[in-house]
Structure formats: C-alpha cells, structure tokens
Amino acid sequence: MSTLTFTIIQTQLHWEDKAANLKMLEEKINGIKEKTEVVILPEMFSTGFSMQPEKLAETMDGETIAWMKRIAAQKRIILTGSFIAKEGEDYYNRLVWMLPTGQYGVYNKRHLFAYAGEDAHYAAGHKRLIASVKGWKINLQVCYDLRFPLWARQQQTEEGAEYDVLIYVANWPERRHHAWKTLLQARAIENQSFVIGVNRVGNDGNGIYHSGDSMIIDPLGEILYHKVHDEDILTMTLQKKTLDEIRAKLPFLKDADPFMLLNQNWAASGDGDGQ
C-alpha cells in the first residue's frame, strides 16, 4: 500500500529577515537524517507574519522562490510553506508547493486575519489547491483558514474522497492555542483525513508568543504527534492503508450533505524522491 513521508519543521523565525531565515531553514533541512518526501515550513517562513508587504514582498522570480527551487532539487523533496508574494499591484500570503523538478502550485490564503489587519495589506485568494503525489491528494491551506470548515470540507468525487491529507501552515499565537488544537482535530474527524498543522515558536516582532503546538492527527482525530514550545523537526510516514480502512469501516462521508465549491485549483502532480 502507498505511503507518504512528511517532515515538519517547527522553528523560531527571524523577524523580517529573509537572509537569516533562509540560511537557518536550509541548515535545518540539510540536517534531516531520515528519508523524507515532503518538507513543511511555517506560514511566512522567510519573514514572520509581517504586515509590511510593501517592503518584503517578492515576485515569483525572487529570492525565496529561487531558494525553494534549489533546495527541492538538491534534496529531491517537495517543499512547501507560505511567503509574501507580489502579483501586479496586489500582495498575497502565498503558499507554494514546490516539486524537485522546479514545477510548483500556489495557493493564496483565502481567509485574511482582519483582527491583525491582514485584510488591509493583502488580497484574498479564491481557489483551493489540492496537490497530487504518489496517489495521495493533499489539500493545502494557511493558518486562519482553519476556522472556516466549509473551505476544507470534503467533496465527493467519482473516485471517492477529494483529498487524503489536509495541511495548515501557520503563525498561530499561543493565546489561542486551545482553538488551534481543537480545530485541527475537528477537521480530521469531519473530513476523515490526516491533518498536519505546522506552527512556529517564539516571539515575533510584535512581542506575540507562539507555542508551536504542531500536530499530526489521524482520520479518527487521534494525535500522532504534538510538540509544544520547543523547536523540533519531526519525520513521519503515513499509511494510505490506515486511511482506506477507516473510510471503509466508517463510511460517514457518503452521508454528507451535497454541496459544490466552484473555485478549485489542482497542482501539477509530481513526486519527491526523498533525501
């Protein structure tokens, strides 16, 4: 049966310092000893959760994308996380799913965190991104999207469930960690999928503390991994057999209310061969 191996990097971030973050993350990725296929970084991994896109944004020809292409190719992995992107006159909190071939898919964060003024600085995305690798389908979302279950809700296709793994990259503050942990488990249970939440740790440039609480959760809502406060790099292999057995034994998705999301984007398929 198919397996897929993920590495999550829970780390502190250097505030609005791209060069320092890219250097630090490259060292961490180079230090991964296990064979892995997908490496997941936090939200705005090159800057922290900054509301200064005018100063920090890059195009898709910029330094951060070039770095992602180089690392993915060198390590023969899929690399994902979000950064501050500029397109035309707009700025986006943009997640990139970078293949080792240099092909990539993008997802622009749909739900902007108005409480912190994100909606005043960034444009909202309107299309989901579901990537395909080794027969697995991966739904990719960003931080505040977690609070909106419809955006993650499974839609039934002729092949069955729409996706197998739901990933959230985040800068989610410690003061609302209970919501983060609870909602990650809820998304796993209601969608009968694995859920991976990758958060940062430490204080950001506004003095807001992040406890991490990165998690991997199985389709029954059971926690397979949870790390709080400390930096950590964790590699775990997920089994498609586990997912298929749960969905076959408990076919709850078949009883779901029908609906349709009109905006959908599929990433180019591709495999990371691992380190």
The pLDDT, as a whole number, for residue 264 is 57
The answer on pLDDT for 236 being more than 90 is: yes
231 is catalytic: no
Catalytic residue among 18, 75, 109, 227: 109
Strand order in the sheet with 232-239: 104-108, 90-98, 78-87, 38-40, 3-10, 232-239
pLDDT reported for residue 252: 87
Residue 263 pLDDT: 60
For residue 79, give both structure tokens. 């690399």
Instruction: Take residue 249 and report the two structure tokens written for it.
Output: 């034994």
Q: 262 pLDDT band (50/70/90 cuts)?
A: low
**What mean pLDDT, rounded, does the chain reach?**
94
Q: What per-residue confidence (pLDDT) applies to 112?
A: 97
pLDDT of residue 269: 52
Does the active-site annotation cover 143? yes
Is residue 109 annotated as part of the catalytic site, yes or no?
Answer: yes
List domains and CATH numbers for the chain.
Answer: 3-266 (3.60.110.10)
Look at residue 199 and tell me whether its pLDDT is greater than 70: yes
Q: Please, are residues 268 and 102 in contact by the beta-carbon 8 Å criterion?
A: no
Where do runs of H (alpha helix) occur along 10-78?
18-30, 53-56, 63-75
The confidence score (pLDDT) of residue 157 equals 72
Percent of the chain with pLDDT over 70: 93
Convert the pLDDT of each residue in 100-157 to its tens digit: 999 999 999 999 999 999 999 999 999 999 999 999 999 999 999 999 999 999 987 7
Q: Is the pLDDT of residue 275 over 50?
A: no
Q: Which residues contact 83 (CB under 8 A, 6 or more apart)?
A: 44, 45, 46, 47, 58, 64, 65, 94, 96
Q: At 61, is the pLDDT very low, low, confident or very high (cuts 50, 70, 90)? A: very high
Give residue 271's pLDDT band: very low, low, confident or very high (50, 70, 90): low
Distance (Å, whole) CA 180 – CA 161: 24
Residue of higher predicted confidence among 255 and 128: 128
Of 16, 37, 143, 162, catalytic: 143
> Region 200-226: what's the mean pLDDT?
98
- Does 95 have pLDDT greater than 80? yes
Active-site residue identified among 16, 18, 37, 43: 43
